Amino acid sequence: MNTVLGIDAIKAGRYADAEKLLRKALERATASYTSPKEGEAFYYLGLALKAQGRLDDAYAQFYKSTWNSAWRSAGYFGLAEILTTKGDFKCGSRQG
């Protein structure tokens, strides 16, 4: 539920609210497991952080989303956007 509310907050441009909701979703999802079932919350948390200009934090969340095949492409795209924003055009030159 927090993931859905976080996505809605992103769509409304309320990025700080989205961050809180998505962190809560991940807290619940990782309470008993190291990684949640899907990478969706990590990906959207990356979007919320990126929108707030917190690129290093966003990079870490996008990278975490890539472990899940359903979110791998979107996560790597988010990573690529951040790297190119920073002027890093060498593929694989940075690790998350």
For 33-85, the pLDDT digits (tens) are 766 668 899 999 999 999 999 999 999 999 999 998 999 999 999 999 999 99
Domain 2-85 annotated CATH 1.25.40.10: yes
Interacting residues of 15 by C-beta distance below 8 A, sequence separation 6+ = 9, 48, 49, 51, 52
Q: What is the pTM of this model?
A: 0.82
CB 47 within 8 A of CB 77: no
Smallest Cα–Cα separation from 76: which of 52, 92, 57, 54? Answer: 92
For the segment 9-42, what is each residue's pLDDT rounded down to a tens digit? Answer: 999 999 999 999 999 999 888 777 766 668 899 9
Residue ranges per structural domain of the chain: 2-85
Using CA atoms, how far residue 4 sits from 7, 12, 26, 73, in Å, is 5, 12, 12, 20
